[in-house]
Amino acid sequence: MDIRMVIAPLVAQAFLTLVILFVMAFRRYRAVKANEVKVIDAAASNISWPAYASQAQRSFANQLETPVLFYALVPMVVLTKTYDTLFVVMAWAWFASRLAHSWVHCTSNVLSLRFPTFLVGVSLLVAMWIIFAVRLFA
């Protein structure tokens, strides 16, 4: 199996995180431009951003939470050569759940949609870690 297939979901997640960073920046810029916040307050981080800007900020922060476990797992799987088609399929499914979660988070932000996508992703991540541990120590 080509190692790029194993790394590709990690690269896709990194780009998703960057896209959300730019969405957050655009929304914050729009809030400042519309005088919904004062630049001096924004610089001091003592503000309440409008909901549309806060959603993007929370989504961006979320990209730096559980995905860290994925960012740690992929290099270890590569180094130990414990990857296979199952890992790649699960990694892409995990990324799809992150993409769906981000989409909901940055748009409607409906918790009844957002939470299941988060739960699917976390479940996949736990399963990938368990499979990795079993393969590594079996």
pLDDT at 5: 97
pLDDT at 41: 61
Three-state secondary structure of the chain? CCHHHHHHHHHHHHHHHHHHHHHHHHHHHHHHHCCCCCHHHHHHCCCCCCHHHHHHHHHHHHCCCCHHHHHHHHHHHHHHCCCCHHHHHHHHHHHHHHHHHHHHHHCCCCHHHHHHHHHHHHHHHHHHHHHHHHHHHC
- pLDDT tens digits, 44-73: 666 788 999 999 999 999 999 999 999 999
pLDDT at 79: 97
Burial (Cβ within 10 Å: 0-12, 13-18, ≥19) of residue 128: buried
Is 3-137 in CATH node 1.20.120.550?
Answer: yes
- pLDDT tens digits, 70-87: 999 999 999 999 999 999
How far apart, in Å, are the Cα atoms of 14 and each of 19, 79, 91, 103? 9, 20, 13, 15
Q: Check whether 2 has a pLDDT greater than 90.
A: yes
- Rounded mean pLDDT, 23-30: 95
pLDDT at 102: 97
- What's this model's pTM, rounded to 2 decimal places? 0.93
- pLDDT tens digits, 119-129: 999 999 999 99
Domain map (residue ranges) of the chain? 3-137
- pLDDT tens digits, 85-117: 999 999 999 999 999 999 999 999 999 999 999
